[in-house]
Amino acid sequence: MMAVRTVFNLFCDCWQLYRKYITKALNEDDLDRFIQESGNLFRKYGKDPLAKDLLLAVTNEIERMEKEK
């Protein structure tokens, strides 16, 4: 189980990832960077299930918004 401070940092990192990509019209290079950054965050937090769930939520929302554009 992650410490509360670590969970806070995870939420902040996920927010930063979301904020970075949600307003862009993403091209293939952007998507590759997004995938790489997501993987890096997942590893940063020890492949914790909460990290997986939060990153999947961000990924799903980015995908949903891309389909609407």
- How do residues 12-69 score in pLDDT, each as one tens digit? 999 999 999 998 889 999 999 999 999 999 999 999 999 999 999 999 999 999 888 7
pTM: 0.92
Angle between helices 49-68 and 28-44 (to 10 degrees): 160
Q: Read out DSSP for 31-56?
A: HHHHHHHHHHHHHHTTT-HHHHHHHH
Q: Read out DSSP for 16-30?
A: HHHHHHHTS---HHH
For residue 5, what pLDDT band results from cuts at 50, 70 and 90? very high
